[in-house]
Chains A and B, each alone.
Chain A
Amino acid sequence: MNSAITSSACRSAAEAPLRPKLALVGNPNSGKTTLFNLLTGLKYKVGNYPGVTVERKEGRLRLTKDLECDLADLPGVYSLSGDSIDEHVAAAALRETPDALVVVVDACNLERNLFIVSELLDLRIPLVVALNMSDVAKERGIQIHSLLLSRLLDVPVVAISATKKTGIEELRRAIGQVIEQRRPSRMSGAWAANDEELLQLAEEAGRSEQLSGYGRVAVARYKWVHEIVEKSTSRSDTRGKRLSDRIDAIVMHKTWGIPIFIAVMALLFQSMFTWASIPMDFIDTLVGAAGSFVNETMPAGPLRSLIVDGIIAGVGSVIIFIPQIALLFLFIGLLEDSGYLCRAAFVMDRVMRPVGLQGRSFIPLLSSFACAVPGIMSTRNIPSQADRFTTILVAPLMSCSARLPVYAVLVSAFIPTLYFGGVFSLQGLVMLGLYALGIIGAACVAWLLKRTIFKGEPAPFLMEMPPFRTPNLSTVLRETLDRVLIFLKSAGTVIFACSIVLWFLASHPVVDGEPVGVEQSYAGQLGRALEPVIEPLGFDWKIGIGLIASFAAREVFVSALATVYNLENEGDAAASLTELLRSGAESGTGFGLPAALALLVFYVFACQCMSTLAVCRRETGSWKWPALMFGYMTVLAYCGAFVTYQLSSMVLG
């Protein structure tokens, strides 16, 4: 077999620079990216919901020792005449006529998935059908006779399971054969049964990307597909509701759906405080011990101060949040992979509709809790431009993971550790409140935008529901590990360098061999220069330093405060920032609870991310929208912090 593939029909990587071009096509959530990762060895994001892939991804597929192919993973499409941007991306890639297609078909939904196959057959490109999730189909009593299906479609059909990695070698061999033979299916146009008028209509629909006459074409295609499915599939009687349906009846309940979603989210934030506290305390102890060790072993002087007050205090104050970040991504990953997040999108559609957004906006907004950049990218599957732009403009209001250290340090320092009912801690509830504040802010802004700039009703929401399944732990853990490594890398590079520079700025100039004190230092002068602007918000010059530093990265705010407070506290080993903030508030040398609350509100709303603005420009095609985003978020952050400070000062005295 392998020697056949390496025949002259196949261009070998060593002999010719041109490799055969392959594309993975199929319905959304049929497992294309999981298969792509498996075939190429790459690690692109996968998820148990439609719309994870919104753009073309490229990789190399090695079929034999001598044969390599370029493999493109395309966004999922239901048909070739869709009108959202991700569907255009897929259609554009197919217009480049790849040498062969690998059509990934969900074996559990064969009839719907074969519709796109009927369209792809008409392109007269050689193709292989990968019957993915055939293990799940079998469990559900669906028996697909792949040999018969292969004969009916006149293309190779291989039953695989991308998550269980079965059937992959057979698929590789089938791909190799198709590349070698380069023979398109003889079933092209078979759905029209030689009806010239229908074929004409299909051609026009494909060319003009308009739906005129497309209804008749679609009906004829579905009829053909139905006949094929009837012939090639047998079902054993599966009585009663499946477990997935029974869970759906609860989590998507008209009344209980939203409370269940809120409870799940509350549990997530609770666990971030309660479960993460043990590893966080451990890291804190390690950081403290490292500071004490340096203090005891090194003679006093600028180098010791740099290591203890700059590096250990700065970097240590940030790496302490690794357990919380890991838990956040672990839980989101588990919810996503189990299929619950799609249900949440449906449940939230009812809440989002009154503010002018649709449930389809929920997934991009949810992705923005990790980072607004992929969140904004995933708006590509929203067909309505008004809904899409509204979602893009409000996505950065979702609290991304970079804000987490800022929230966590302020909440730990200023919010008492009270428990309600022995389960819900006040700190966890405040944390949930901060995330909720971002969502409420986004809802208000979306409501305003949909009544001013983007007038119009939201488009109807139709979304495929993936089945509930046991989350794939390796995928979830890999995603969590990736996030932790990104955070660690940031701590070891940007935060490390910022801590050194900030230590210098906060401990210089030196007069008569003695530092002038943090308030009179270069950093202090910068902070004090900002004071007139931030004073109404209750922020002092130390917060001013943190705000300036956080333009490098939001987490730097925490390390900057740690360096400033540790320098003021000179003589001791690197102390925990939480402790220093608490003692500062008690002694009156630092800021108190009203300013801390204002600071939290400021960070919920402020737009301090250049990448978000850049991707907004790219996705909207104009600088006008990122300018509007930056402007309204800055105003919202300032006004929100001002109101919070004034109100909380009045209430708390």
Chain B
Amino acid sequence: MTLQQILVTAAVLAAGCYLLILAMRSYRSFRKLAGGGGSCNSCKCGTKSAAPR
């Protein structure tokens, strides 16, 4: 395996893991947001509140 191939493999693996972590985080914030807490993850508008009455 050449150095280029090693670097490419490392970059792809790192990016893949990062996206996986992002997906898990998004799922958690999705559940929080839908449940009434948390903050909007897509636009970072600072949306944060208890569920309305």
Q: How many A-B residue pairs have CB under 8 A?
A: 102
User: How far is A162 from B51 in the complex, measured between Cα atoms in Å?
Assistant: 30
| Chain B, 1-28, CB within 8 A of any chain A CB | 2, 4-5, 7-8, 11-12, 15-16, 18-19, 22, 26
In the complex, what residues of A have CB within 8 A of residue B45's CB?
Answer: 45, 371, 373-374
- Chain B nearest CB from A72 CB (Å) reads 12
Flag if A618 contacts B43 (CB, 8 Å): no
Contact with B along A148-182 (1 / 0, CB 8 A): 00000000000000000000000000000000000
Flag if A302 contacts B46 (CB, 8 Å): no
- Determine which of B18, B43, B51 lies in contact with A371 in the assembled complex, contact meaning CB atoms within 8 Å: B43
A481 sits at the interface (CB 8 A): no
- Chain B nearest CB from A183 CB (Å) reads 31
User: How far is A373 from B40 in the complex, measured between Cα atoms in Å?
Assistant: 7
Task: Give the interface SS of chain B, mostly helix, strand, loop or mixed.
Answer: helix
Flag if B52 contacts A301 (CB, 8 Å): no
In the complex, what residues of B have CB within 8 A of residue A618's CB?
Answer: 33-36, 51
Chain B interface: which of A420-428, A458-466, A495-503, A590-598?
A: A495-503
Closest-by-CB residue of A relative to B33 is: A614
Flag if A614 contacts B52 (CB, 8 Å): no
Flag if A371 contacts B16 (CB, 8 Å): no
| Chain A, 294-318, CB within 8 A of any chain B CB | 301-304, 306
Flag if A501 contacts B53 (CB, 8 Å): no
In the complex, what residues of B have CB within 8 A of residue A89's CB?
Answer: 49, 52
A416 sits at the interface (CB 8 A): no
Flag if A619 contacts B53 (CB, 8 Å): no
Q: Assuming the A-B contacts A494-B22, A497-B15, A498-B19, are A370 and B43 also in contact, with contact meaning beta carbons closer than 8 angstroms in the complex? A: yes
Flag if B4 contacts A373 (CB, 8 Å): no
User: How far is A613 from B27 in the complex, measured between Cα atoms in Å?
Assistant: 12
Enumerate the 4 nearest inter-chain pairs by beta-carbon distance, A residue then B residue, closest first: A500-B15, A371-B43, A611-B42, A614-B33
Q: A56-B49, A613-B34, A618-B33 are in contact. List 15 more A-B contacts (CB 8 A).
A: A55-B48, A301-B4, A302-B4, A303-B7, A304-B4, A371-B40, A377-B49, A497-B22, A504-B12, A553-B42, A609-B42, A614-B31, A614-B34, A615-B34, A617-B34
Q: List B residues at the A interface (Cβ < 8 Å).
A: 2, 4-5, 7-8, 11-12, 15-16, 18-19, 22, 26, 29-31, 33-36, 40-49, 51-53
Q: List A residues at the B interface (Cβ < 8 Å).
A: 44-45, 55-57, 85, 88-89, 92, 301-304, 306, 370-371, 373-374, 377, 380, 402, 486, 493-494, 496-498, 500-501, 503-504, 552-553, 609-615, 617-619, 621
